[in-house]
Amino acid sequence: MPTFHDPLADAAEASEALRGLAHASRVFDDPADTYTVFGDLVAGVRSLRQVLDQLANTHLNARDRASDDDGNPAAGAADALAAADELHQAGTLLDRAYDRLDMAFSHSGRIAWHPEPVVDRDAARERLAARLDGDPTTAITTVEAGTLTLAVWPDVPVGEHQRYAYRITDATTGQAVEGRDLFTGAGTPVEPDRALRDLATFLSAAGEARQYAMEHPGSSSENEGLFPAWVAEAARTNTDALVELSEHGPTDSHSAAGPAQAGRRWLSVVFLQGEEADAVLDLIDRDGTDAAIEHLAQWDYGDETTDAALENGYVYDDQPPASGTDQSVTAEGYAVTYNHALGHVGLYRQFDTPPDLALLDDPPVPASIRTGPSHRAQQAAHEGREARRAALGVDRDWFTTPSRGSAGSGRELSL
């Protein structure tokens, strides 16, 4: 509870409350609750603006009592004035943030949220069990990361959000903790190895926060409350193993989920960002990942793509590279990774798998993609391949896709 007279205690409590809110607001059971949170945040920002002004005034009014570590009052007064100026600047920026927040509050207040469709959880568990060929609670994937044992298993989805439950055990102390809040995507189930990588990423963040707190006593980090204190400490002492797991995923040497597919390697076919990626992300939302793979496979020029990937080092063992928030789907020797929040999408092919001729036929391309710079680049590349094929007298170029019009931009394709 606030004291209303002790700024030290109230500041500490405010920091703790905001950290708790950051953790609790990851998922809202009822989106209408966001309106109430908005109201509290607007009031909180207004109070924070007042706090900044009062901190600045304190520095100004008490600058005659300031000095530096060497006892120089002039230097101390200068720093007090500088601190007050920065606080006033921060207050000005906070005014802008308050205006934006207040506008968002107004927009949110005009939304009529419909109730979420009733989910038959028993039926959902049965569908999940059927997909896993057994009881979902027994489909546990386990991996060792230093002294930590991480286990994940599919849990009942929350609406469109895929969910995994997890258990973290520290072999040093015997302590263990379980949770059910590991959300790994929306709409499309992900592999257990991906869930383990995400869990390792969160643990790495908690370990870094713990290390920062040790190096800066009295300070706090936004990731400090992700896990109980003993988990954060164990993550700190197993940082290297967790980073390795988050970046490369489980391997044969330390996964208890069964033998990995040894020797599988992936090469990068194409990686898009910005407007080009947005068009493909829209295609995924509208027609699914299979349509995206068909579209992106047009960048696969067979041996040319393989040689370019080998020359540039775009070859990856076990699985394609992906960040902790990327979604990934594998089909017919290809894997597509995408991230709506970060605005990128990439296509990868198994190293020893030639392009699927069916995918290199002329798939339907949405108008938003047909007019973009990527399509113009495809046309230019296509004409170059046609010219080489004619010069060689080849009846059919194995990697050619049908032309869709005259060439546009001459921008080179690159991995």
pLDDT tens string 310-326: 877 788 877 777 766 67
76 and 170 both lie in a single domain: no
146 and 226 both lie in a single domain: yes
Residue 163 lies in a domain: yes
237 and 303 both lie in a single domain: no
- For the cut 60, the answer to whether the pLDDT of residue 97 exceeds it is yes
- Please, which residues bridge with residue 345 across strands? 272, 338
Q: Which range is least confidently modeled, 50-59, 75-84, 244-253, 406-415?
A: 406-415
82 and 146 both lie in a single domain: no
In a 10 Å sphere around its CB, with 0-12 CB exposed, 13-18 middle and 19+ buried, how is residue 299 labelled?
A: buried
- The answer to whether 345 touches 279, Cβ cutoff 8 Å, is no
Domain count, the chain: 3
Q: Find where tokens 């997890």 sit.
A: 166
The pLDDT value given to residue 187: 56
Report helix, strand or coil for 331. strand
237 and 297 both lie in a single domain: no
pLDDT band at 382 (very low <50, low <70, confident <90, very high): very low
282 and 316 both lie in a single domain: yes
Residue 126 lies in a domain: no
Opening angle at CA 369, ends 368 and 373, nearest 5 = 115
Q: What percent of the chain has pLDDT over 90?
A: 16
Q: Which range is least confidently modeled, 149-153, 269-273, 331-335?
A: 331-335
177/318: higher pLDDT: 177
Residue 390 lies in a domain: no
241 and 319 both lie in a single domain: no
Q: What percent of the chain has pLDDT over 70?
A: 71
Residue 158 lies in a domain: yes
Residue 405 lies in a domain: no
Residue 339 lies in a domain: yes
pLDDT band at 262 (very low <50, low <70, confident <90, very high): very low
- For the cut 70, the answer to whether the pLDDT of residue 269 exceeds it is yes
276/390: higher pLDDT: 276
pLDDT band at 265 (very low <50, low <70, confident <90, very high): confident
Structural domain ending residue among the three candidates 333, 362, 391: 362
Element (H, E) at 220: none
Strands of the 327-331 sheet, one edge to the other = 315-317, 265-273, 344-350, 334-339, 327-331
244 and 146 both lie in a single domain: yes
159 and 229 both lie in a single domain: yes
The pLDDT value given to residue 113: 83
183 and 272 both lie in a single domain: no
pTM tops 0.75, yes or no: no
Count the residues in the chain.
415
Structural domain ending residue among the three candidates 346, 362, 378: 362
Q: E-strand spans in 141-239?
A: 141-145, 148-158, 161-170, 176-186
Kindly write down the DSSP assignment for every residue of 93-161, as one continuous string.
HHHHHHHHHHHHHHHHHT--PPPPPPP-HHHHHHHHHHHHTS-GGG--EEEEETTEEEEEEEEEEETTE
Please report, to the nearest 10 degrees, the dihedral formed by the alpha carbons of residues 297, 303, 306, 310 taken in order: -160
Structural domain ending residue among the three candidates 68, 90, 109: 109
pLDDT band at 339 (very low <50, low <70, confident <90, very high): confident
The token pair that represents 105 in the structure block: 């509050």
Residue 114 lies in a domain: no
Q: Which range is least confidently modeled, 84-93, 202-211, 335-344, 395-404?
A: 395-404
Residue 413 lies in a domain: no
276 and 177 both lie in a single domain: no
180 and 235 both lie in a single domain: yes
pLDDT band at 189 (very low <50, low <70, confident <90, very high): low
**396-412 mean pLDDT:** 37
Q: Cα separation of 138 and 414, whole Å?
A: 44
The token pair that represents 188 in the structure block: 């499309």
Q: Cα separation of 79 and 330, whole Å?
A: 58
Kindly write down the DSSP assignment for every residue of 258-323, as one continuous string.
S---TT-EEEEEEEEEHHHHHHHHHHHHHH-HHHHHHHHGGG--THHHHHHHHHHT-EEESS----
Residue ranges making up the domain that contains 54: 31-109
Q: Find where tokens 């939304």 sit.
A: 111
